[in-house]
Amino acid sequence: MSTVFKAATAVESADVGTAAHVGTSHIALEHVAKDFETRSGSLQAVADVSLAVAPGEFVSLLGPSGCGKSTLLRIMAGLTPPTSGSVSIAGGRPVDAQREKRVGMVFQQPALMPWRTVLANVALPLEVNRRGANATLRQSEIVELLSLVGLAEFGRAYPYQLSGGMQQRVAIARALVFNPDILLMDEPFGALDEITRDQMRYELLRIWSAARKTVVFVTHSIAEAIILSDRIAVMSARPGAVREVLEVRLPRPRGEQLESSPEFLRMAEHLKALLRPAGASIPGA
């Protein structure tokens, strides 16, 4: 079996919609807070966040700009330590999971090297980590990753020859090159136009259905969060705290027609109410 799909076997028979309530947490945050020192004093970005994510689960962090969603993601990735509280990845430290390549990250900008082909961009982490022998052995797997993200015919293309959505798919393939158990995605479609963004969420669903990684996904988009997620953690304005964790009980596989369903619209209205600033009035009410 290809290592690209190795993680899928552990969860393919699970009911992903109830994954949060079964088994051991893959990611666990307990009373996490994060302060930053500024010239004017201490600034609290995140306040007392507790959240558990199960293996194979897709969880979105939904909240207003500046509420600490990206900060939480960086804490999960082991890129920045919390000021207080604890974080574990499969029972261990995030920095260890990062060092062992068990966590992949996708950012808002694909950050591709313009002088490298698509194939070479995906292979870059292997070269940076000086895994020369393995890089040769993984060549066929890189091609398979490109097939997974729908770019099998573009391995020899350069970034300037790709659309924004295609470039972001290259970034997703690059994040998967070490076959991580966890994929942390920091608003990866935020820089795309609305039409491409709508298409990319269904592309991501297809990729996730095939690879079944544990995903934590940062977004400002209510529709994006509902379509993609098993659960949505709704965050308050800074200092960011989890106001509510909403389970998405919509059936999978999900398609565009779901976005006009009564269940989807009811959930979207509920999320809008949660995100509305305290005391804000509703036009026409």
- Tell me the pLDDT tens digit for each residue of 247-273: 999 999 999 999 999 999 999 999 999
Residues paired with 32 in a beta bridge: 49
User: Does 19 have pLDDT greater than 80?
Assistant: no
- Report the pLDDT averaged over residues 229-243: 94
Q: What is the largest CA-CA distance in the chain?
A: 65
Q: How far apart are CA 209 and CA 125, in angstroms?
A: 24
Range 267-274, long-range pairs (CB < 8 A, 24+ positions): 267/226, 268/222, 268/223, 268/226, 270/246, 271/62, 271/222, 271/225, 271/226, 271/232, 271/234, 271/246, 272/222, 274/234, 274/243, 274/244
* Per-residue model confidence (pLDDT) at position 40: 87
C-alpha closest to that of 103 among 83, 75, 140: 75
Residues 135-171: tens digit of each pLDDT = 444 677 889 999 999 999 999 999 999 999 999 999 9
- Where along the chain do its domains lie? 22-102+183-192+212-275
pLDDT grade, residue 128 (50/70/90)? confident
Q: pLDDT at residue 76 above 80?
A: yes
How high is the pLDDT of residue 247? 96
pLDDT (average), residues 116-132: 84
- Please say if the pLDDT value at position 90 is more than 80: yes
User: Cα separation of 104 and 96, whole Å?
Assistant: 13
22-102+183-192+212-275 folds as: Rossmann fold (3.40.50)
- Residue 253: the pLDDT is 92
How high does pLDDT run on average in the chain?
86
Mean pLDDT of 12-20: 36
Check residue 280 and give its pLDDT.
54
For residue 6, pLDDT over 50 is answered with no
253: exposed, middle or buried (Cβ count in 10 Å: 0-12, 13-18, 19+): exposed
Please, where are the H alpha helices in the chain? 69-76, 94-99, 118-128, 132-137, 139-148, 164-175, 194-211, 222-228, 262-275
pLDDT of 205-223, one tens digit each?
999 999 899 999 999 999 9
Tell me, rounded to whole angstroms, the distance of Cα 44 from its chain centroid: 23
Give the C-alpha distances (Å, rounded to integers) separating 86 from 78, 210, 220.
11, 31, 26
What is the distance between the alpha carbons of residues 109 and 20, in angstroms, rounded to a whole number? 30
Question: What's the mean pLDDT in 18-29?
Answer: 66
pLDDT digits (tens, 9 = 90+) for 175-198: 998 899 999 999 999 889 989 999
- Single out the residue of 172, 171, 168, 259 nearest to residue 221, CA to CA: 259
